[in-house]
Structure 1
Amino acid sequence: MIICAGNNETFDFATPMGVGLIESAMNITRLCLFDKPEFLLFVGTAGSYGKHEIFDIIESKTASNIELGFLDSCAYTPLDNVVSTNTTNTQDIIVNSSNYISTCKEQTKKFLKFGVEIENMEFYSVLKIAQEFNIPAGGVFCVTNYTNKNAHKDFLDNHTKAKELLTEHVKKRIKELTSV
C-alpha cells in the first residue's frame, strides 16, 4: 500500500494518512488494525540538512525522531529514537521526523554527524507503526528545501515540481517491479 501525508501533499496513487507524527500514527494504526497492508510505502517531500540538493529523490527505510535540543545536549530521551525496516547490510539515509520544520542552517548541519540527512514530518511514525505490526515499509522523498530561514518559502516554490518528480519516480519503480 502506498501512503502519503495529506492536505496539499496528496498523490493519485497514494492514500493520505495525516500530517505530522500524531495524525499519521493514529491513522496508520487504524489502517493496520482493520485492514493490515502487506507493505507500506510512504511518499512525501523532505528538507535537506545540506548533503542533498533540491529535487533529489531519496529512498530510505530508516527514520529518527531527534529534536534540535538533543544536538546541543539540552534534551535527552529514554526512548529508542531511531527505527529501521532495513534488513540488508547496506547503509541507509536516515530521515528525521518532528512536528516542527527546521529553519536554522547552522544547527541542522549537526544532524549530518549522526548520519541524518533529511527531514520529513511523518516518516518516523510510519516506520514505528510498521515495525509494531511487523509490516515491511519504506519511504521515497523528494527534497523541496534546505533547512534554513527560507525553508517554508522554498518548500512552497518547489512543492508542485517535487510532487511531479515523485509521481514519475514511483510510477517508474512500480513498472520496474511489476515487469520482473
Structure 2
Amino acid sequence: MIVCAGRNETFSFAEPMGVGLIESAINLTRRCLFDKPDFLLFIGSAGSYGEHNIFDIVESKRASNLEISFLRDDSYTPLDNVLESENKLVKNDTIVNSSNYISTNFELAKNYNNYGIGIENMEFFSIVQVAREFEIPVAGIFVITNYTNKNAHEDFMKNHKEAMSKLTKYLIDKNIIKYDA
C-alpha cells in the first residue's frame, strides 16, 4: 500500500494519511485496524539538512523524532526516538527526522547530519511507528524540495510541483507504479 501526507501533497496512486505526526498516526492506525496492508510505502517531500540537493530522491527505512531543542541540549525524551523497519528492500542509511515543525535555522539544523539524520519530513516517524506496532514492513521515498533554512517554505512552494513530478517519474522508473496519466 502506498501512502502520502495529503492536502497539497496527494497522488492518484497513494492514499492520503494526513499532515504531521498526529493526523498521519491516527489515520494510518484506523486504516490498519480495518484493513491491514502487507507493506507500507510512504512517499512525499522532504527538506535537506545540507547533504542532499534539491530534487534528490532519498529512500529510507529509518525515522527519528528529534526536536531541534535536542541539538542545543535543551531537552531529552524517555521514548524511542529512532526507529528502523525490518524492510530488506531499502538499504539507505539516511535517517528521516519528523516533527510537527519545519526547521528554519540552517546553522543549527545541519547538526542533524552528525547523527546520520539527513532530511526531514513531517509524517514519516509516525508512519514507521504505526507500521512497527502492526508488524508491517515500511519504507519511504522522498524528493527534496528545500533546505532547512529561512527560505524553506518559499522554496518548498516554488519546487513542489516539479518535485512531485520527479518523484512520480522515479516510482514509474523503479516499476513501483504504472504510468499515471
Give the shorter-chain TM-score range: over 0.9
In structure 1, the gaps of 5 or more residues are none
Alpha-carbon distance in structure 2 between the residues aligned to 1:20 and 1:132 = 18
Q: Deviations over 1:99-147 (max 9, x none)?
A: 0000001010110000000000000000000000000000000000000
Provide, for residues 8-56 of structure 1, a one-character-per-residue CA deviation record: whole Å limited to 9, x for no partner: 0001110000000000000000000000000000000000000000000
Structure 1 stretches of at least 4 aligned residues deviating more than 2 Å after TM superposition: 86-91
Q: Give distance in 1, aligned partners of 2:7 and 2:34.
A: 23
**Secondary structure, counterpart of 1:121 in structure 2:** coil
For structure 2, list consecutive stretches of 5 or more residues without a partner in the other structure: none
C-alpha RMSD of matched pairs (Å): 1.6
Q: Distance in 2 between matches of 1:35 and 1:171?
A: 26
Contact between 1:95 and 1:120, CA under 8 Å: does it hold in 2?
yes
CA distance in 1, matches of 2:20, 2:83: 17
What letter is aligned with 1:7?
A: R
Alpha-carbon shift at residue 172 of structure 1 (Å) = 2.1
Cα contact 2:54–2:145 (8 A) shared by 1: yes
User: Matches of residues 1-180 of structure 1 in structure 2 within 5 Å?
Assistant: 1-87=1-87, 90=91, 92-174=93-175
Distance (whole Å) between structure 1 residues aligned to residue 176 and residue 18 of structure 2: 27
Measure the CA separation in 1 of the matches of 2:142 and 2:110: 19
Give 1 or 2: higher helix fraction: 1
User: Matched residue pairs, number?
Assistant: 177
Q: What TM-score, normalized to structure 2?
A: 0.94
* Alpha-carbon distance, 1:173 to partner: 1.8
Contact 1:62 1:86 in 2 (8 A): no
Structure 1 vs Structure 2: percent identity of aligned residues? 60
- In structure 2, the residue corresponding to 1:174 is in which secondary structure? coil
